[in-house]
Structure 1
Amino acid sequence: MAVTKLLTIYQPEKIHINGKVRLQARFDDSGSENILWYESSETYGTYMTTERVDAFLVGLLWLALKKGQNILVKGALSEKLYYSLNHHLIPLIAQIYKHKHIKVLCDNLVSTPLPNEGAVGTGLSCGIDSLCTAYEHLGRAVPAKYQITHFTFFNTGSNQMMGSQKWQDKIYQDRVAWAKACAQELGKDLIVVDSNIHDILKMSFVKTHTLRNISALLVFQKLFHVYYYSAGYQTLTAKFNQDSASYDPISLPLLSTENVTFYSAGSNFSRVQKTRIVSEFELSYKYLNVCLVRIKNCGRCLKCKRTLLTLDVLGSIEKYKNIFNLEAFYKIKDSYIKEVIEGRNRDILFKDIYDEMVRRNYLKK
């Protein structure tokens, strides 16, 4: 497929709508105009970055890759991001997914940092990866300038992966309330960001989540100087696949700008190690949420049973009796153990659990 026409992105603007603040940018996709937007509360509207096109370039990158279009940025762009995308990240993504090698074009590159509050953030979904990152970066072992000051919750597509529109809206509101309550107990603000990026891209969330979520964070370059994006894979055992998390340790530093630095948090831990760390975090007994279908963890879905078996192997399962349906899990436990044993040579997460079973003589108990 040849590179045809341009995807043109214009300088963003900030508007007030329905008591919220929206940062939006117009873009032209081969003659068809549209708007990508990110919306948050008035409290954080002041930190929205109208001075750079960075957030919108990252958010629309997958659209251009899918269509094989070069991107023309009509506005100011971070020089560091421009260099990293053109010379490193775009070529990598093109090789992984066999896409055409596109280019970003811009004649207004800026290397001067914006005023910045020095905040440190991470997403708070309350899953294993998320709570592990939170626990690791709230203690004194982390230097003061790298300790978490704010949590984020981005509605960029994870809540639209299944179910009806009514169900998606409900699960989004439920997850926000859950995360907000957890953040409050930790004494931190939760910055909630809504966006129409899912409707714009119309692509697999799993394949594109890193760029979607980083684009939402780049909206607040006048607030954050460090952001931890929770790793989905252990770097040591990761192989490139359809999940963008499989190459996060490479892509995240390349998405950093003169203002904010991104880290792949927890990438040195296996999923079992993360679960053990989380099991030592008392707040997780109240807020751990891994379920694919509901806030009160069902105990039977893919993520619930994997987490519960790991917790059982670690001897910590009873700590979670108030937020998981343990009765439902115990009914399928034996069949799931069999599935893990049989699949350990083709699934790294199963192998991780199996190896822990062997270490702890779990199967002989």
Structure 2
Amino acid sequence: MGTPVVESQGGLSRWSVPVDGPSGMPGTIWYEVPSQYTDMLTYRCDPALIALTIPAMRLGLPLVFDGPITDELTFQYRDLQALYSASGDKPPVPVVFNRVVPAAPAGAGVAAGFSAGIDSYALLAEHHYAEDVPDALRLTHLLFNNVGSHADGREDLWRRRFARIAPVAERIGLPIIPVNSNLDEIPSPGVSYEPLNSPANASVAHLLGAGLRTWIFASSVEYRRVGVTHNSYNSAFVDPIALPLMSTESLALRVASSRMRRIDKTRLVAEIPDAWSSLDVCIQIEPLDKTNCARCWKCRLTLGALDLIGAVDRFDPQFDLDVWRADREAYLARVSLLKTPALVVELNELMAEVGYQPLPADRRRARQELAVEKAETFLRRVERRAGRLYREITRR
């Protein structure tokens, strides 16, 4: 890994570092920001170090850095690799740092990623809208990163989403920095985006390290679910442990609102007028008439919570509430019978807290549907096993 360079052209500034890697690895790792933010870009290799952590472990590739790396990161990197290894299934890899340097002077900015989702708005509730937030933790910038989460549509989808979210940031009153990158070109076999999410976004904090003193991450995992579990495959479960290992004297990486359940965050967001016309939780790339489809699992989870706390009508601009109301009783009856996943369990807790009980007929229907789905899943599993056995026999 060579020394980073920053080049400006056409209103954009590109930070890049050459990579000498195997086939399939891009020849450079790069990030781009609008040129007015050039002064915030670091001239260290810290962003690449953080971004490559999990891919290098998955590929079993040793890392060699010739460019400057902050000494605290090199010192803590063994622990960071060990942490991700313990919560995944690949061992740490050898790392060589040929140029270790002290921390640079701290910047003045406080930044957080913003997607207009529940976690993002809950972070804003505490670090922007709140009157009692200390100046050292009050947001000065929002970030909208292309570091892998837009994989289905890649850069084009990221640009379309940014065009939708930029006016929201303007209304909120904070500058938003669009950060493009080619991190989705780094091979990471056997890993979906979830394990890469936290370090990929943390790498952007280090990219802008010359202008930031603090980066705050809207983690989706509550403290009671934080822990190092082998094969969890999701970096969010160890964020409160990992982010201090990615921090330095001049750049603090923090997790926001992990004391709260998602339903508690939803209560906060329901009181933010800016969110009523901009909340975006949908997993569909192209929803129908409104921003959120009101049909996917994440939309229904959010609508269920908003409905139970009596705030769903406020979000009519963002959801087709007729779709939700047609499905409401059946969905909540189904949720009342489920013991996993954790976010569904939280919705069950909220139903108990507000005293909502599904009608017996809806619960019976939901129980029957779940039984049929369980039987179908079992049959598909048997068919797959039988198919594998048949292929093994016929190959002999």
TM-score by length of 1: 0.91
Residue number in structure 1 paired with 2:59: 67
**Cα displacement (A) at 1:178:** 2.7
Aligned equivalents of 1:187 and 1:33: distance in 2?
Answer: 37
- Match 2:208 to one of 211, 220, 223: 220
1:84 corresponds to 2:72: no
**Cα displacement (A) at 1:61:** 1.7
- Match 2:101 to one of 101, 110, 115: 110
Cα contact 1:15–1:23 (8 A) shared by 2? yes
Cα contact 1:222–1:259 (8 A) shared by 2? no
- Match 1:45 to one of 35, 38, 42: 38
**Cα displacement (A) at 1:30:** 4.5
Cα contact 2:116–2:280 (8 A) shared by 1? yes
Aligned equivalents of 2:170 and 2:87: distance in 1?
Answer: 40
Residue number in structure 2 paired with 1:340: 335
For residues 150-161 of structure 1, the aligned pairs below 5 Å read 150-160=141-151
- Match 1:16 to one of 8, 11, 23: 8
**Cα displacement (A) at 1:64:** 1.2
Aligned equivalents of 1:112 and 1:200: distance in 2?
Answer: 27
Q: How many residues align?
A: 348
- Match 2:48 to one of 40, 52, 56: 56
- Match 2:27 to one of 31, 34, 45: 34
Residue number in structure 1 paired with 2:126: 136
Aligned equivalents of 2:259 and 2:342: distance in 1?
Answer: 15
Residue number in structure 2 paired with 1:363: 357
For residues 87-236 of structure 1, the aligned pairs below 5 Å read 88-114=79-105, 116-138=106-128, 139-160=130-151, 162=152, 165=153, 168-169=154-155, 171-202=157-188, 203-236=191-224
Cα contact 2:336–2:348 (8 A) shared by 1? yes
Aligned equivalents of 1:24 and 1:155: distance in 2?
Answer: 15
Q: Which runs of 5+ in 1 are unaligned?
A: 1-8
- Match 2:246 to one of 232, 246, 255: 255
**Cα displacement (A) at 1:204:** 1.4
Kindly provide the CA deviation profile for residues 18-43 of structure 1, in whole angstroms up to 9, marking residues without a partner as x: 33110000011148771010001011
- Match 1:264 to one of 235, 239, 255: 255
**Cα displacement (A) at 1:170:** 5.0
Residue number in structure 2 paired with 1:5: none
Aligned equivalents of 1:94 and 1:28: distance in 2?
Answer: 24
- Cα pair distance change 1:312/1:60, threshold 3 Å: same
Q: Which has the greater radius of gyration?
A: 2
Cα contact 1:227–1:261 (8 A) shared by 2? yes
Cα contact 1:60–1:201 (8 A) shared by 2? no
Percent identity of paired positions between Structure 1 and Structure 2: 26
Residue number in structure 1 paired with 2:344: 350
Kindly provide the CA deviation profile for residues 197-234 of structure 1, in whole angstroms up to 9, marking residues without a partner as x: 10123541112111111112211111110111001110
Query: Tell me, what secondary structure is at the counterpart of 2:75?
Result: helix
Higher mean C-alpha deviation, range 99-108 or range 263-272: 99-108
Cα contact 2:103–2:248 (8 A) shared by 1? no
Aligned equivalents of 2:183 and 2:334: distance in 1?
Answer: 37
Q: Which runs of 5+ in 2 are unaligned?
A: 360-396
**Cα displacement (A) at 1:292:** 1.1
Residue number in structure 1 paired with 2:310: 315
